[in-house]
Amino acid sequence: MHVVLWKLLDEACGKSKAENCIEIKERFEALQDLISVIQYSKVYVNEIETDSNADVMLVVKCETEKELNLYMQHHLHQELSHWVSKIRKTRIALDYIE
């Protein structure tokens, strides 16, 4: 399992934080149909604004550690992660195998 939480910039790449949250959700969830090792993918957008809450959470399930590594090294994931690095303040992740 790959879980990532991001706190986004208020404005980045010509879009508001809310617009970028929607784009992150759409783009990461689309990867499920494009990267075969993803068993499950879901993006959650924070609904209660506080200074301590993350803005977006990504959850990706892969069967094995090898598949998780394949996902994280996949060029589509790398391209998307690079874009997110331009619109985020902070990132924290947790990886584990169930």
pLDDT in tens, 24-36: 999 999 999 999 9
Note the pLDDT of residue 97. Answer: 83
Q: Is 15 helix (H, G, I), strand (E, B) or coil?
A: strand
Classify domain 11-88 by CATH number.
3.30.70.100
- Is a pLDDT exceeding 90 seen at residue 63? yes
Q: How confident is the model over 36-41, as a mean pLDDT?
A: 97
Note the pLDDT of residue 21. Answer: 98
Domain segments of the chain as ranges: 11-88
User: Structure pTM?
Assistant: 0.93
Note the pLDDT of residue 82. Answer: 98
pLDDT band at residue 94 using 50, 70 and 90 as cut-offs:
very high
User: What are the helix and strand counts (H, E) for the chain?
Assistant: 3, 6
CA distances from 71 to 15, 38, 63, 65 (A): 27, 7, 11, 10
Length of the chain: 98
